[in-house]
Amino acid sequence: MNVALRESDSQSPLDGDCWGWQKKLESYLTRVMPGSNVAIVGMQRLSGGAIQENWLLDVHIVGGEKAGKHRWVLRTDAESAVDVSMSRAHEFAVLTTVHEAGVEVPTPFWLCTDLGVIGREFFVMQAVGGTAAGHRLVKDDVLVPDRPALCRDLGRNLARLHAIKPPSHTLDFLPVPVADPAQELITQYLGFLDALPWSFPTIEWGLRWLQHNKSAPAEACLIHRDFRTGNYMVDQGRVSGILDWEFTAWGDWREDLGWLTARCWRFGKNENLAGGVGALRDVMAGYADICPRTLSEDELRYWQVMAHVRWAIIAVQQTERHLSGQQHSLELALTGRLLPELENNILQLMGGRA
Amino acid sequence: MNHPDASELLSAARETLMKEVFPSVPENLHYEIRMIASAMGIAAREAEQREAATQEEISLCSRLLPETVVVGTTSQDEARRALARAIRAGQFDQETQGSALHEALQQMVLSALRISNPRLANTSAGEA
C-alpha cells in the first residue's frame, strides 16, 4: 500500500470520481453561483448511454440562493463520443425550451462549453427521482399502480412538446422543418442503407411500402424522436422526467406515437400498446387534455413501420461501429442480432398484423 | 467434422457459464453474463443452421430473380444486393410480385429468427 496515498486520506478523491473532476467542478460551480461555497460530496456514474455520460452529483452548498443539499446530474459526452447526436450545448437549449413549454423534464441549470473545466462540454440539471427501467415498468404494478394515469401523463407531455411550432429562435440550430417529413425520412434512410457495406431486402421493402402508403403531412412541430419506455422516469407511478433529448427535431407528431407504441419498445408486454406500460387510448386521452387530435389505425401502423425501419437501420449502424473497431462492445454486437426481430415486425405490420 | 463440433462446444460452455459461474458472479455483472450467454447461444445455433439457411435464402432469391440469382454460383451477399436493388427499382410493386416477395422475405426472416431468437420464431410461425 502506498503510504503517501494513505496519509492524504482527508484529501482523498471521491470513490466515483474516476476522471478526477471533483475539484474542477467545485470551482466551476462556485463561479456560477457567486457567494456560495460548493462541495461535491458524492459522484457516481449512472448506467446507460454509450454516447453520453451521466453523473449523479451530491452537492453541499453553503451560502447563496441555492444553499443546502442537492442532487444534480452532470451530462457530458462519453469518451468515445460519435458525431451523430447533437452537442451538449444544443441539447441544453432543447431542454430549456421544452421545460419552459411545460414538458416534464429535469430542470436545466448551467451549460459549460469551456473545455478548460473538465475537457468536455457538459451541463448540470436537477436529478429526478424514480426509475426508467423498461423491464420493470411494464411488469411491476407497485411501480405503476395506475397505468391509465401514467399513460395520460405521457400523452399530456407529448402534446405540450408538439405544441412547440417552428420557427423558434432558441432552437435555430435545428435543421429547418421540411414540407413532408415522412418523405424526408424515407430519402434519408435509403441514403443510410446505401452507406452500409451490406444489403437489407426487408428494410428496402419496408421503405418501399412507406413510400407507397404515405399520407398527407401534418403541420411541423417539435418532436422528441426517442420518446419510449426507458427514456422517461417514473416516480410514484407518474412521469417525473423525460430524458434523452439528443434526437429532437422538427417533424410529424405521429412519428413520436409510432415510436412509443412500436412493438420493439414494449419490453415483451405486447398487449400494452403504449410502450408496454398501458393503453394507447389513455395516452391519447391525456394528449387531448392539451390538444385534441386523433390517430387512425392506418396512421399508427404507418408510423410503427417507420419506427421499426429506423430502429433496424440504427441497429445495423451500431453493429458497424463495433465491427469497424470504432467502439468495441458486446452490447453493440448483439444489437445487430435484433435485426431479424425488427424485420419480422416490419413484415407483420405491412401484412396487417403485429 | 471434429467432435464436439462448434455448436456442441458452445452449448456446453454456455451451460457451465449459466449453471456454475453465474450464481457466484456479483450482481453488477449479471447483465454482462447474460449478454455473453446470449451471444454464445446465437453462435451455437448459427454454427448448426447457417449452411441450410444460406442455401434456402439464395434459392428463395433465385425464384424471385431467376435471371440474376443462380443457385450454386451467386453468394448470399450478392443475392441480397440483387434483391434489394430490384425492390428499389420497383420490380415488386405489382400485387402478384409483391406478395411473392413478401412471402419469401417472411421465410428468410423466420430462418434468421430461429438463430437469433428461437422463442420468437416459434410464436411468429404460429401467428403467420
Nearest CA in chain B to A202: B105
CA distance A181 to A218: 9
pLDDT of A18 strictly over 90: no
pLDDT of A3 strictly over 90: no
pLDDT at A256: 98
> What would the pLDDT profile of B5-44 be if each residue is shown by its tens digit?
999 999 999 999 999 999 999 988 999 999 999 999 999 9
pLDDT at A8: 35
Provide mean pLDDT across the span A178-190. 97
> What would the pLDDT profile of B92-114 be if each residue is shown by its tens digit?
999 999 999 999 999 999 999 99
Provide mean pLDDT across the span B51-70. 97
The domains found in chain A, sorted by start residue, are 21-126 (3.30.200.20), 134-350 (3.90.1200.10)
**Considering only A16-25, A343-352, B100-109, which range has the smallest mean pLDDT?**
A16-25
Burial class (CB in 10 A: 0-12, 13-18, 19+), A183: middle
pLDDT of A80 strictly over 60: no
Provide mean pLDDT across the span A38-52. 83
pLDDT of A215 strictly over 60: yes
Nearest alpha-carbon partner for A42 in A58, A26, A65, A19? A58
pLDDT at A86: 80
pLDDT at A353: 61
Between B58 and A318, the higher pLDDT residue: B58
pLDDT at A10: 40
Between A93 and A14, the higher pLDDT residue: A93
pLDDT of A1 strictly over 70: no
* Residues belonging to chain A with any Cβ–Cβ distance to chain B shorter than 8 Å: 190, 193, 198-202, 204-205, 208, 212, 330-331, 333-334, 337-341, 343-344, 347-348, 350-351, 353
B112 → closest Cβ in A330, A340, A350 = A340
pLDDT of A57 strictly over 90: yes
Assembly ipTM = 0.94
Provide mean pLDDT across the span A269-283. 97
B4 preceded by a cis bond (ω within 30 of 0) = yes
The band of A48, judged by pLDDT with boundaries at 50, 70 and 90, is low
pLDDT of A89 strictly over 90: yes
Mean pLDDT of chain A: 91
pLDDT of B4 strictly over 90: yes
pLDDT of A60 strictly over 60: yes
Could you tell me the pTM of the whole model? 0.91
Q: Do B109 and A351 touch (CB under 8 A)?
A: no
Domain ranges for chain B: 6-121
pLDDT at A345: 96
Q: Do A199 and B109 touch (CB under 8 A)?
A: no
pLDDT at A82: 54
| Side-chain half-sphere exposure of A116, counting CA atoms within 13 A | 3
**Contact (Cβ atoms closer than 8 angstroms) between residue A16 and residue A44:** yes
Q: What percent of chain A has pLDDT over 70?
A: 93
Output the nine-digit C-alpha cell for B82.
440483387
Q: B105 to chain A, minimum CA–CA distance in Å?
A: 6
CA dihedral A280, A282, A285, A286 (to 10 degrees): -100
The band of B123, judged by pLDDT with boundaries at 50, 70 and 90, is confident
The band of A85, judged by pLDDT with boundaries at 50, 70 and 90, is low
CA distance A85 to A82: 7
CA distance A292 to A290: 7
The band of A220, judged by pLDDT with boundaries at 50, 70 and 90, is very high
Q: Which of B36, B87, B93, B120 to mutate to test the interface with A (most CBs of A within 10 A)?
A: B87
Q: Do A334 and B38 touch (CB under 8 A)?
A: yes
Q: What percent of chain A has pLDDT over 90?
A: 82
Provide mean pLDDT across the span A216-225. 96
B105 → closest Cβ in A333, A338, A347 = A347
pLDDT at B122: 87
CA dihedral A162, A285, A141, A134 (to 10 degrees): -30
Between A80 and A106, the higher pLDDT residue: A106
pLDDT at A341: 96
**Contact (Cβ atoms closer than 8 angstroms) between residue A237 and residue A143:** yes
pLDDT at A2: 39
Distant-in-sequence, close-in-space partners of B21: CB < 8 Å, separation ≥ 6: B33
